[in-house]
Amino acid sequence: RAPLKIAVVPGDGIGVEVMPYGVQCLKTVASIFDIPLQFESFDFASCDYYQKHGAMMPDDWKKTLLPFDAIYFGAVGMPDIVPDDVSLWGSLLKFRREFDQYINLRPCRLMPGVRCPLAGRKPGDIDFWIVRENTEGEYSSIGGKIFEGTDRETVIQETVMTRVGVDRVLRYAFELAQSRPRKRLTSATKSNGISITMPYWDTRVVEMAKNYPDVALDKYHIDILTAHFVQKPNMFDVIVGSNLFGDILSDLGPACTGTIGIAPSGNINPDGKFPSLFEPVHGSAPDIAGKGLANPVGMIWAGQMMLEHFGYKDAAAVMLKAIENVLARSEPDVVTRDMGGNGTTKSFGEAVAGEIASLGKGASN
| Positions in the binding site for ligand IPM (CB under 6 A) | 88, 93, 247, 281, 283
Instruction: Verify binding: residue 282, ligand NAD, rule CB under 6 A.
Output: yes
> Based on the number of CB atoms within 10 Å of its own CB, is 9 exposed (0-12), middle (13-18) or buried (19 or more)?
buried
Cβ neighbours, 10 Å, residue 39: 15
Residue 338 interacting with ligand NAD (CB under 6 A)? yes
What's 152's DSSP letter? Answer: T
Residue 167 vs residues 23, 72, 201, 277, 290: alpha-carbon distances, Å:
35, 27, 9, 21, 42
DSSP helix/strand/coil, 7: strand
d(CA 67, CA 335): 37
Should residue 10 be labelled a site residue for ligand NAD when binding is judged by CB under 6 A? Answer: no
Region of 76-84, 160-168, 307-315, 354-362 interacting with ligand NAD (CB under 6 A):
76-84
Nearest residue to the partner ligand NAD, using Cβ = 77
In whole angstroms, give the CA distance from residue 203 to residue 209: 10
State yes or no: residue 46 binds ligand NAD (CB under 6 A): no
How far, in Å, CA of 315 to CA of 303, rounded?
A: 11
- Smallest distance from ligand IPM to CB 159, Å: 14
Q: Smallest gap, in angstroms, from Cβ of residue 120 to ligand NAD?
A: 25
Q: Nearest distance from residue 157's CB to Mn ion, in Å?
A: 18
- Contacting ligand NAD within 308-337 (CB under 6 A): 336
* Shortest spacing between CB 247 and ligand IPM, in angstroms: 4
x/- letters, 214..253, toward Mn ion (CB under 5 A): ---------------------------------x------
Applying CB under 6 A, what is the total number of residues that bind ligand NAD?
23
Of 204 and 282, the one with the shorter C-beta distance to ligand NAD is 282
Q: Pick the stretch among 73-81, 165-173, 185-193, 318-326 that binds ligand NAD (CB under 6 A).
A: 73-81
Among 205, 260, 277, 334, binds ligand NAD (CB under 6 A): 260
Query: Does 59 engage in binding with ligand NAD (CB under 6 A)?
Result: no
> Among residues 107 and 283, whose Cβ is nearest to ligand IPM?
283
How is 246-288 classified by DSSP, letter by letter?
HHHHHHHHHHHTT-GGG-EEEEE-TTSSS-EEEEESS---TTT
Own/partner pairs, 33-37, CB within 8 angstroms, 24+ separation = 33/312, 33/314, 33/315, 33/318, 33/360, 33/363, 33/364, 35/4, 35/307, 35/310, 35/312, 35/315, 36/1, 36/2, 36/3, 36/4, 37/3, 37/4, 37/6
Phi-psi region of 19 (alpha: psi -120 to 50; beta: other; left: phi over 0): alpha
Which of ligand NAD, Mn ion, ligand IPM, none interacts with 252 (beta carbon under 5 to 8 A by kind)?
none
The 247-286 contact track toward Mn ion, x by CB under 5 A, reads x---------------------------------------
Does position 305 interact with ligand NAD (CB under 6 A)? The reply is: no
- The number of beta carbons lying within 10 Å of the beta carbon of residue 183 is 16
Residues in touch with ligand NAD (CB under 6 A): 14, 75-77, 79, 84, 88, 92, 260-261, 279, 282-288, 294-295, 298, 336, 338
